[in-house]
Structure 1
Amino acid sequence: MSSAPRPDDRVASAFRFATELIAWIATPWALAPHSVLLAVLSVVVLIGLPTLLSTPGDKRNVIVAVPGPVTILLVLVQLVAAVAAAWAAWHVFAAALVSVLALLTLVLELPRWRWLASL
C-alpha cells in the first residue's frame, strides 16, 4: 500500500461522473441500431465492471479488490466509450463537447492516477 495520501479528487470526480453518464447513454445509443444485445451488454460492462472491481483505498465499498492500474484502465474505457459513441451516434457539435469533457476529465484525473499507479 502506498504511503502517499489519496489526492482530493472532488472536482475530478464530478467530471468523471459526467463522462461516465455520457458513456452509459451514448454507447448503447450507438450500438442499438446494430445489435440490441451489444447495446445491453455495453451498459452491463460500463456500469457493472467499475461497480464490481475497485481499488482498496479508492472506494469505501470494495467488492472485488484490484490493483490501481486496473481502476485506471476502467476509467479509460469509460472515457473512450463516451467519445467514440458520441462521435458514432450524435451530432458533431455534441461529440466535440463530449471530447472536450473527456480530455478535461483525463487531465483532472492525473493526480489520482499517479496515486493509483503506486498501489
Structure 2
Amino acid sequence: MLDPTTVSPNLTSRGRIPSVLRFGTELIAWIATPWALADHSVLLAVASVVVLIGLPTLFATPGDKKQTLIAVPGTVTIALVVLQLVAAVTSAWAAWYPWLAVLITALALATVIAELPRWRWLLKAPGRTPGD
C-alpha cells in the first residue's frame, strides 16, 4: 500500500481526473502560447515551448512523479502548474476566438479545483530525497 505522506495523490487512483485535466491544459498551453507569440517573435515562440515543456520535465517534487530528474520543493511544482494554466488562458485569449478562450478558462478553473488535494500534499512534501 502506498504511504500518503510520501506519495502524491497524483500517483494514486484519485489523481486520474486531475492528471487528465492538467494534461489537457498543458497541451493547450504548448499550442496556444507559441501561436500567440509567433507574430511578435519566432524566437519567443520557440522559447515558450522549451520553457513550458522543459521545466516540468526537469524539475519535480519527489513522490509526485515516478521519476524525478531534479528534486524541488512542492511550491516549485505548484508554480510550474500555475505557469502552464496562466499560459493556456492568456494565450487562448490572445490568439483564439473568445468562445474558445472561455472554454479554456473553464477548463483551467476545473483543473485548479481538481488539483487542490495534490497541491495540499505538495505544500507539505520535502524538496529532496533522503541522501541528496
Q: TM-score range by the shorter chain?
A: over 0.9
Alignment of 1:105 with 2:111, yes or no, is: yes
1:6 maps onto 2:12 in alignment: no
Structure 1, unmatched stretches of 5+, are none
Equivalent of 2:55, from 23, 45, 49? 49
Q: Distance in 1 between matches of 2:100 and 2:123?
A: 32
Runs of at least 4 residues of structure 1 off by over 2 A?
Answer: 2-8
Q: Is 1:80 the equivalent of 2:86?
A: yes
- Number of equivalent positions: 118
Query: Hey, what does 1:19 align to over in structure 2?
Result: 25
Match of 2:34 among 17, 28, 34: 28
CA shift at 1:65, angstroms? 0.4
Q: Which runs of 5+ in 2 are unaligned?
A: 126-132
Residues 67-117 of structure 1: CA distance to partner in whole angstroms, max 9, x if unpaired?
111000000000000000000000000000000000000000000000000
Per-residue Cα deviation, 1:8-38 (whole angstroms, up to 9, x for no partner): 2110000000000000000000000000000
TM-score after normalising by structure 1: 0.96
Label 1:100 to 1:53 Cα distance change in 2 as closer, same or farther (>3 A).
same
